[in-house]
Amino acid sequence: MTESATELATIDRGHLGELIKRERSLYRANFPRSWDAYEAGAGHLLGGVPMTWMRMWAGGYPIFQAAASGARLIDVDGNEFIDFCLGDTGAMAGHSPVAVQAALTRRYGEAGGATTMLPTEDAAWVAAELTRRFGMTRWSFTLTATDANRWAIRLARQLTGRPKILVFSYCYHGSVDESFIVATREGPRPRPGDVGPPVDPRETTRVAEFNDLEMLQQELAHGDVAAVLMEPALTNIGIVLPARGYLEAVRAVTAEYGTLLINDETHTFSAGPGGCTAALGLQPDLVTIGKSVGGGIPAGAYGLTEELAERILGDHDADIEDTGGVGGTLAGNALSLAAMRATLGEVLTDEAFAGMIEVASRYTAGVQGVLDSRRLPWHIAQLGARAEYRFCPQMPVTGGQSAAAADPQLDEYMHLYTINRGILMTPFHNMALMCPATTEADADAHTAVFAAAADELVG
Ligand SMILES: Cc1ncc(COP(=O)(O)O)c(C=O)c1O
């Protein structure tokens, strides 16, 4: 053990257990109407909640939302929260931004017609704006990021005639069958808990560790990988940032082996107006995105290069119009497009990103200050408007390393402590996201609560 490591604070697990007990009781006392609402749903909702992952909120039941605006959320008990969860990125534009409200009222209320099987003039504007931001020249729309990924994968297989895709260990790209695979010492394994996989993912997928170029090269050398599907920084197993030069090297090796490169910018959009793709000058073949682009209204998109677009349109064996497996009845609907136009045009603008990133830097510096002054063996990573702390002293460089740093007990304590004091963090992570309405005072309010939690833990 190095000298500096011996100086780090140690966490007394017995004491932590006591703190968690206290925070659970406080939670139950703070959110009684949410408990009643939860009980009322128990009879007919699978798992007692409208979406089963809502069971993952600390406290044994979720708080129930009454209202939300900008960076604020109010629950049914009347408690107000500074919302750093922001719908796990779905609300990166802030809750119900005025410009999106107006666009939705115009489209749904005044003009009328949410879904008609007909295009609206908003689509061309949105596609051109996505091109300005991400560089891909042809775009198509989906309702979710998952679908954007699924359809991008199908196109990649069709275009290359290759059967497999490659993902990084502990990635998350939505409920994409091919992606639930991890790298282990004994080789690739289905990710534990994968529900009813159609086939063993090893039949469809190769897996490498993020930041491990040699492993990627070895896997691609099999010559059967249609596409690498990646987040330019992992954001779903803490934040794992790319090593210097790594993403350029990924581009070079994928090109060398004839494999397409798909950047999933759903979360890494936080890096700037054109996500990591623009911020780092990346040159993928396809870009996928979802969640925040519709200001909270279901919307997603995938974009591809001119050359790939021409090839797929000219492929008479590829039915991209009817029952070929690429498309959905409500995809590209008028309401989603109106929401995307307002979100990109008026809310998540270039100027807004500059402010969001500044607030995220203040948030990160605040947390870092607490980690340093209390000598906590944790670290924090920032990706533009997003930051996440994780319970290991050094920044992990692979998904596997980051997964190994998981600490469910500390997770529960920090989530309960913050929610009990008006700070909403993402339930699956210690992730905080800034929207255009998040202020420096909000970041400082988090720092104060974070410091208090740390002091109780190791003080
Ligand atoms: C990087 C990434 N891609 C895709 C998705 C899937 O998004 P959705 O569940 O909205 O389809 C997620 C969800 O967390 C994600 O983090």
Taking the C-alpha atoms of residue 442 and residue 429, their distance in angstroms, rounded to an integer, is 19
Average pLDDT of the segment spanning 367-374: 98
- Which ligand 1 atom sits nearest the alpha carbon of residue 144? 11
Give the CA angle between residues 292, 299, 286 to the nearest 5°.
Answer: 85
**Which burial class, exposed, middle or buried, applies to 317 when counting CB atoms under 10 A from its CB (0-12, 13-18, 19+)?**
exposed
Residue nearest to atom 14 of ligand 1 (CA): 174
pTM score: 0.97
* Per-residue pLDDT band at 434 (split at 50, 70, 90): very high
pLDDT tens track for 161-218 = 999 999 999 999 999 999 999 999 999 999 999 999 999 999 999 999 999 999 999 9
Q: What pLDDT is stored for residue 459 in this prediction?
A: 82
Average pLDDT, the chain: 97
Q: What pLDDT is stored for residue 414 in this prediction?
A: 98
Q: Is the distance from the beta carbon of residue 145 to the nearest atom of ligand 1 less than 6 Å?
A: yes
Distance 171 CA to ligand 1 centre (A): 10
Q: What pLDDT is stored for residue 6 in this prediction?
A: 59
Host H or E run for residue 380: strand 379-383
- Angle at which helices 13-30 and 32-41 pack, to 10 degrees? 80
Distance 96 CA to ligand 1 centre (A): 20
Query: At residue 253, does pLDDT exceed 90?
Result: yes
Distance 144 CA to ligand 1 centre (A): 8
Distance 90 CA to ligand 1 centre (A): 9
Q: Is the distance from the beta carbon of residue 231 to the nearest atom of ligand 1 less than 6 Å?
A: yes
Q: Is the distance from the beta carbon of residue 150 to the nearest atom of ligand 1 less than 6 Å?
A: no
Q: What pLDDT is stored for residue 2 in this prediction?
A: 43
* Per-residue pLDDT band at 7 (split at 50, 70, 90): confident
Spatial CA neighbour of 340 closest among 142, 85, 118: 142
pLDDT tens track for 120-158 = 999 999 999 999 999 999 999 999 999 999 999 999 999
Q: Three-state secondary structure along 25-82?
A: HHHHHHCHHHHHHHHHHCCCCHHHCCCHHHHHCCCCCCCCEEEEEECEEEECCCCEEE
- Which ligand 1 atom sits nearest the alpha carbon of residue 174? 6
Structure-block tokens of residue 312:
């797929």
Q: What pLDDT is stored for residue 412 in this prediction?
A: 97
Q: Is the distance from the beta carbon of residue 264 to the nearest atom of ligand 1 less than 6 Å?
A: yes
Average pLDDT of the segment spanning 424-436: 95
Residue nearest to atom 9 of ligand 1 (CA): 174
* Per-residue pLDDT band at 428 (split at 50, 70, 90): confident
Query: At residue 5, does pLDDT exceed 80?
Result: no
Give the distance between the most distant pair of CA atoms in the chain. Answer: 68
